[in-house]
Amino acid sequence: MQIVEKESEFESALKLCQSRAKSAFGDDRVFVEKYIQGAQHVEFQVLADGKKAIHFGERFCSIQRRHQKLVEEGPWLSDEKRMEIGALVCAGAESVGYKGLATFEFLRDANGDFYFLEVNPRVQVEHTVTELITGYNLVELGIRVAQGEDLPVAQEDITWRGHAIQCRLNAEDPKQFIPSPGRLWDCHFPSGFGIRCDTHAHPGYEMPGCFDSLLAKLLTWGHDRDDAVRRMRTALDETVITGVEHLIPLHRRIMDEEDFMARDITIRYIEEHPDLLG
């Protein structure tokens, strides 16, 4: 992708993109589309049975590295905006007879306008955030629909309670995000009220260098966002991983950062806060 700020830059940017596309894909065709200033990444969780669709609200996923999510949380929007976008994503799923779990992803600009990105026709890593704030087991519901059941719940059954945050604990260098394979000599994950940890890691586990670097998903729930953040700070402090580098130091700094606390976050959050990298 190449951002063009001025008309005079267009021709050179076009040639550069065409050259890269030809080299990488053997095809020099490129797309020209609007660049979203101050973009935030917001996605909606949907479940459909081929006839009807319901939504479980939104997740906010703007803290990313290399366009891959690091921190997810929800809810984020007003009730009115959730109802508006929720109705649209359900209509979209119903229009194609969609069946199963899906995530509708959007960019939201500085004016609050939404721009459709894509649909991921599957359960996603961050579905756990939605489970904590709605109380529904999304994997179970998806399996029941796949078995041929009609939607097990109605839209009016779904409510949102409190706030949830998820930190992806990747085995990566927290400065340059280089994968850190190796053996886990020790690992301990917190537990207790308002804490969830999904992981396959254990002492002695060999973290491979040829697959995804995700070691664990650490989540906290709180009565509100501040409560969830406080609980996440404690949970990160209690987590122990030795043998590989990991992103816990980065996540811990994010939880204290002023713009994060003020909800002043875009998809360029990491690039705009280099001090977080230590």
Which residues are known catalytic residues? Answer: 122
Q: At what angle do helices 138-146 and 127-134 cross, to 10 degrees?
A: 100
Cα–Cα nearest to 236, from 159, 165, 142, 131:
165
User: Residue 186: what are its φ and ψ, rounded to 5°?
Assistant: -155, 145
Q: What are the residues facing 115 on neighbouring strands?
A: 107
d(CA 227, CA 224): 5
Here the tokens at position 52 are 């009807």
d(CA 56, CA 47): 8
Asked if 228 and 166 touch (Cβ cutoff 8 Å), the reply is no
Q: What are the residues facing 65 on neighbouring strands?
A: 68
Exposure string (b/e) for 180-217, b if CB count within 10 Å is 16 or more? beeebeebebbeeebbbbeeebeeebebeeeeebbbbb
d(CA 239, CA 197): 10
d(CA 235, CA 237): 5
Q: Cα–Cα–Cα angle for 80, 227, 64, nearest 5°?
A: 70
3-state secondary structure of 54: strand
